[in-house]
Structure 1
Amino acid sequence: MITLQNPMGTISMTSDYFAELVSQAARSCYGVAGMATGGRGDDLKSLVFGSDFPEKGVRVTQSDRQLTIELHIKVGYGLNIATIVKSITHKVKHEVEKATGLTVARIEVSVDDIVAD
């Protein structure tokens, strides 16, 4: 749960909201073939919820009104990975800051798989 304090009170946003926001922004970037599971926790959720669930490959943590986002992605074969990662970090940062008003301190992108078309 991500919280934001303002003069009128506290705003709480669920992890699912952030996961879906970040996932949609990342998947809309050229070269991203999909989200990858980000470890054993995601592997277990894949068994329970199926292959596609909102927080697949996304972790968002908050400290002092700043967010740290961790992404696990699959990219298309033969594409420039550095360019894809740069595009993702720019798009995700812009979308999250525009939608929430919070500052994104860091985005870590891990390329876990290369997919051939």
Structure 2
Amino acid sequence: MVKLETHLGETNISQEYFANLVGHAASECFGVSGMAVTDATQGLRSIITKKEAPDQGVRVRILNGRLVVDLHIVVTYGVNISAIVKSIVNKVRYTVEEATGMEVARVNVYVDSMKTE
């Protein structure tokens, strides 16, 4: 649970909401083939449901009152990885700050594999 305190009161936002928001924003970027599985629960869930969950490959945490986002992605073979990563960082930062009003300190993008399509 992420708590946002302002002069108007306190707002609680679930980790699942952040993970879904970030996962959706990242997967919409050009060159992203999908999100990588980062832990056993995500892997088991994807095996059981036979589809990719929106929060797969996403970890959101708070550091000194600001958000830190870790993304594990699968990219399409032959695309410029540097350009994809810059695009993802900008889109995720903008989407999260617009939707929640919370400041994003860092977006860490890890390219776990490549996929040919």
- In 1, distance between residues paired with 2:3 and 2:50? 29
Q: Structure 1 counterpart of 2:105, which letter? A: A
Cα distance in 2 for partners of 1:80, 1:38 equals 23
Identity %, equivalent residues: 43
Structure 2 gap ranges (5+): none
Q: TM-score, normalised by structure 1?
A: 0.91
How far apart are residue 83 of structure 1 and its match?
0.6
Deviations 1:80-100 (A, max 9, x none): 111100100010001101111
**Cα distance in 2 for residues equivalent to 1:99 and 1:105:** 15
Over the aligned positions, Cα root-mean-square deviation in angstroms equals 1.4
SS at match of 2:25: helix
**Is the 1:68–1:106 contact (alpha carbons within 8 Å) kept by the matching residues of 2?**
yes
Does the 8 Å CA contact 1:16/1:54 hold for their aligned counterparts?
A: no
Q: CA deviation at 1:34?
A: 0.8
CA separation of 1:106 and 1:51: change in aligned 2, threshold 3 A: same
The CA deviation at 1:45 is 3.6
Q: Name the counterpart of 2:24.
A: 24
1:58-97 correspondence runs (5 A): 58-97=58-97
How far has the Cα of 1:50 moved from its partner?
4.2
- Tell me which stretches of 4 or more aligned residues in structure 1 moved more than 6 Å: none
Alpha-carbon distance in structure 2 between the residues aligned to 1:33 and 1:90: 18
1:49 shift after superposition: 4.8
Q: Counterparts of 2:102 and 2:50 in 1: how far apart (Å)?
A: 31
TM-score, reference length from structure 2: 0.91
Equivalent residue runs for 1:1-117 within 5 Å: 1-117=1-117
